[in-house]
Amino acid sequence: MNANDFITKNYDHLKRSAKNISKKDPLSDDLLHYVICEFLEKPNLKEIVDSGGATYYIVRMMMNSWNSRLSKFHLDYKCQYGMKKQELSYDLEYETESQPNTELLLKISKEAVDELDWYSKKLFNVFIDEGHTVSSLSRETSIPRSSIQLTIKKVRDHVKKRITEKTQES
């Protein structure tokens, strides 16, 4: 059996395993797909599948990728997802403390984005307006994920800085 047939045949089982490993975290599908991509690049792929140990191998890769803070998956996905959670909790804390006017925040945010260079502005607007994830935007535009992540982070930091400045003036 070749690797693609193996993955197709065992996909549902592997997906359940990813959900169990991640304790039903929303990143479980990303974990599975990330590990499948890594698995398909292994030079000894045929031997692993032919030996009957491919399921164990993939599950073990998912466990290592999920649990290790030094894994590429952790750095590329979990850290970014954690950063989004932190930003959200920051925004919620900020709003409950001073109850800023939503219209004012939107106006300041739009002005802050308009101050940016055309590339950052366009990338951020496509990211927001079309509801992309960093990965989907990377696939659609062929821009590396890391470049998109850095640009989005810079835009968010710039917007937060402008909001802080403008709300402190008031």
Model confidence pLDDT, tens digit, residues 62-79: 998 888 877 787 777 766
- Collapse the DSSP code of 132 into the 3-class scheme (helix H, G, I; strand E, B; otherwise coil) and give the result: coil
Tokens linked to 47 = 């031997």
Spans of the chain below 50 pLDDT: 82-99
pLDDT for position 115:
92
What gap in Å lies between CA 133 and CA 118, rounded to an integer? 20
Q: Would you say 50 and 6 are in contact if contact means Cβ atoms under 8 Å apart?
A: no
Tell me which residue range forms the domain holding 62.
3-72
Q: Is residue 61 one of the residues assigned to a domain?
A: yes
Q: Is residue 46 one of the residues assigned to a domain?
A: yes
Q: Is residue 64 one of the residues assigned to a domain?
A: yes
Q: How many domains in the chain?
A: 2
pTM over 0.85: no
Q: Is residue 83 one of the residues assigned to a domain?
A: no
Q: Is residue 20 one of the residues assigned to a domain?
A: yes
pLDDT for position 22:
87
pLDDT for position 89:
42
